[in-house]
Amino acid sequence: MSAVWSLGAGLLLLLLWVRHRGLEAVLVHHRWIFVCFFLMPLSILFDVYYQLRAWAVRRMHSAPRLHGQRVRHIQEQVRQWKDEGGRRYMCTGRPGWLTVSLRVGKYKKTHKNIMINLMDVLEVDRERQVVRVEPLVTMGQLTAYLNPMGWTIPVVPELDDLTVGGLIMGTGIESSSHIYGLFQHTCVAYELVLADGSLVRCSPTENSDLFYAVPWSCGTLGFLVAAEIQMIPAKKYIKLHYEPVRGLRNICEKFTEESQKKENSFVEGLVYSLEEAVIMTGVLTDEAEPSKINRIGNYYKPWFFKHVEKYLKANKTGIEYIPSRHYYHRHTRSIFWELQDIIPFGNNPVFRYLFGWMVPPKISLLKLTQGEAIRKLYEQHHVVQDMLVPMKSLEKSIQTFHVDLNVYPLWLCPFILPNNPGMVHPKGDEKELYVDIGAYGEPKTKQFEARASMRQMEKFVRSVHGFQMLYADCYMTREEFWDMFDGSLYHSLREQMNCKDAFPEVYDKICKAARH
């Protein structure tokens, strides 16, 4: 009973302190209090609900049976919009705060919201090695479903809550992308409801123009209702090799060399300063040395980027065997390294052992509760950006990131970019090796100013024929945007399929210059 009284007294004192300081001041300067006491427990409830729902759907085998009915409901909504005169653009009715993107989607308030409740795995075709899923299936949900069957997908983008629809309509990448390409390149078919309410299937051999135009279109060609994704056999472990490298030129040469080796199932780099990095290479295996198994996904384990940094500080190489699913979601618990800015003591062993099982808080809940003051603070003093540049420009790119942002660690992830039609492809006629440079955190450069600094970065990326991931803030003008991306097929299809009155152009949907 005394423990209950103590807890009650502690909460009362906390509320009195919050009242004294002001809620906004606490949320801005002591956000960890709100996150630890409210958002983390709420995130657990979210996870429990979705896990129970997925279990029930699987036990009752209801997903395939109800899918057709749900798609017909979407078609009815689109036709109703058309019958009403189609005076407003359409968009999905999913609340903007539920998306992993940090961008605030104000268009949800002015557009016609089409409710799309499609969040189930529909079919596993072992013979074709294809899994058919609905667009709101998450990466955590999909790997939990497939791995016990002995399967996985070739590219498993990092965070648990990333959805198939977001990874197709936007993009997705993982440390296996040097072999398989971006997430879109592992998809074999899409099913969409178009602006006239019709349902179409597209693949490289069926409605191929639409198939290649859908990725990066951000839902401005139609509503995705299902996707077919390649599967590959899963193995129990990733044998991961850690190698610290010093000197920028050495880092770039080593990373390029490892990215070109097809025998590496996975390649990743964490750059801790302009001259220091750890390059990791991994291979799939069913055998492991018991003494070297590291279940890095367990809640009490150190955050992965901190664990990797130990090899740099000790200046030694190392080999570990990480269970496959732990590896696929290795950066989830710390949201890469973003959580250290919200919970500065989050990697402390005491916190991990007592509260690590509740980490991470849902990104969607962080967005929902951030408030205008925090949103403006993050916008001006925080960056979350992924820039995709040719591997041959890696050294120059890291130098540019250092001068314009000075954010560390940087995430390096190689990928092969085929010369397919669509918005994103190499400049030449052949496939080309690219690298994703991810910058997440508070810029340390003294002259950082969000708009000016990011426009400078965007200009550099365009100059090397690179691309900016569209989940993040984009400051380009319309002309600059279509200089970066190839809009020829996209615009042709929008004209052909009468999308101009049904959906906004992708630039108007995602770029800050268009939204303000």
The secondary structure of 226-293, three-state, reads EEEEECEECCCEEEEEEEEEECHHHHHHHHHHHHCCCCCCEEEEEEEECCEEEEEEEEEECCCCHHHE
The pTM (predicted TM-score) of the whole model is 0.90
Question: Among 186, 40, 170, which Cα is nearest to 105's?
Answer: 170
Q: Is the dihedral of CA 33, 37, 42, 47 positive or negative?
A: positive
Exposure pattern of 375-401 as b/e (b: 16+ CB <10 Å)? Answer: eeebbeebbbbbbbbbbebbbebbebb
The SS3 assignment for 99 reads: coil
Kindly calculate the radius of gyration of the chain based on its CA atoms and give it in whole angstroms.
23
Q: What is the mean pLDDT of each run of 10 residues along the chain (516 residues)?
A: 56 56 53 82 84 71 80 96 90 76 72 90 96 94 93 92 93 96 98 96 97 96 97 97 98 98 96 98 96 96 97 97 95 91 92 91 79 73 93 98 96 97 92 97 89 94 96 92 97 95 93 61
CA distance 306 to 166: 28
Tell the burial category of 243 from Cβ atoms under 10 Å away from its Cβ (0-12, 13-18, 19+).
middle
pLDDT of residue 298: 96
Q: What DSSP state is assigned to residue 503?
A: S
Q: What number of other Cβ atoms are within 10 A of residue 353's Cβ?
A: 11
Tell me the two tokens of residue 139: 């990466």
According to DSSP H, which parts of 344-421 are helical?
349-355, 363-368, 371-381, 394-404
How many of the other CB atoms lie within 10 Å of CB of 33? 15
Reported as a single tens digit per residue, the pLDDT across 462-497 is 999 999 999 888 999 999 999 999 999 999 999 999
pLDDT at 516 (0 to 100): 44
Core vs surface per residue 432-460: b (16+ CB within 10 A) or e: bbbbbbbbbbebeeeebebeebbbbbbeb
Beta-ladder partners of 322: 238
* 3-state per-residue secondary structure call for 398-419: HHHHHHHCCCCCEEEEEEEECC
> Residue 77 — left, alpha, or beta (φ > 0 → left; ψ -120 to 50 → alpha)?
alpha
Q: CA-CA distance, 100 to 291, in Å (whole number)?
A: 37
Residue 76: CB atoms within 10 Å: 12
Query: How far are the Cα atoms of 21, 87, 106, 249, 321 from residue 375, in angstroms, in the given order?
Result: 20, 31, 14, 37, 40
Residue 228 and residue 15: Cα distance in Å, rounded?
50
Whole-angstrom distance between the N-terminal and C-terminal Cα of the chain? 55
Sign of CA dihedral 401, 407, 408, 409: negative
Interval 314-346: pLDDT, tens: 999 999 999 999 999 999 999 899 989 889 999
